[in-house]
Amino acid sequence: MSWVVDRRSAPVRYVDASMIRSTLRPMARWARQRSERADRAITMAGARRTLARDPVLIFSMGKTGTTALADAIRSSTGRPVLKAHALSAVGVASRMQKDQRLELEDRPRFLWACTAIGDHLRSNPEHGWDVISGVRDPIALAASDHFYGLQIQAELGVQPERATTDMAAHAASVAAVLDERFLALDWFEHELRPVLGVDVYDVEFAHADGYTIIEQAGHRVLVSRAEDLPRVGATAMSRFFGLDQPPLLGRRNTGTGSDDDSLYARFLDRPALPTALVDAVYATPLARHFYTDTEREAFARRWTRS
* Each residue's pLDDT tens digit, 234-266: 999 999 999 998 898 876 544 444 444 588 999
Domain count, the chain: 1
N residues, the chain: 306
Q: Which residues contact 296 (CB under 8 A, 6 or more apart)?
A: 282, 287, 288
Residue-level pLDDT at 234? 94
Higher pLDDT, 297 or 69: 297
**Domain presence at residue 299:** yes
> Average pLDDT in the 77-85 region?
96
- The yes-or-no verdict on residue 23 having pLDDT over 90 is no
Lowest-pLDDT choice from 123-137, 160-174, 207-221: 160-174
**Domain presence at residue 71:** yes
**Domain presence at residue 8:** no
DSSP H or E run through 280: helix 275-282
- The yes-or-no verdict on residue 78 having pLDDT over 80 is yes
> Average pLDDT in the 113-117 region?
97
> Average pLDDT in the 3-26 region?
49
**Domain presence at residue 74:** yes
Residue-level pLDDT at 104? 66
Percent of the chain topping pLDDT 70: 82
- The yes-or-no verdict on residue 202 having pLDDT over 90 is yes
Q: pTM for this one?
A: 0.85
Residue-level pLDDT at 25? 62
Distances (CA, A) of 142 to 50, 56, 120, 234, 278: 31, 26, 30, 26, 12
**Domain presence at residue 298:** yes
**Domain presence at residue 18:** no
Lowest-pLDDT choice from 76-85, 99-108, 148-157, 283-292: 99-108
Domain that holds residue 149: 37-304
Residue-level pLDDT at 218? 97
Q: What is the DSSP letter of 159?
A: -
Q: Which residues contact 77 (CB under 8 A, 6 or more apart)?
A: 56, 241, 243
> Average pLDDT in the 137-150 region?
94
**Domain presence at residue 194:** yes
**Domain presence at residue 176:** yes
- The yes-or-no verdict on residue 150 having pLDDT over 70 is yes
What is the Cα–Cα distance from 43 to 124, expressed in whole angstroms? 20
Distances (CA, A) of 283 to 46, 223, 224, 280, 300: 41, 20, 20, 5, 11
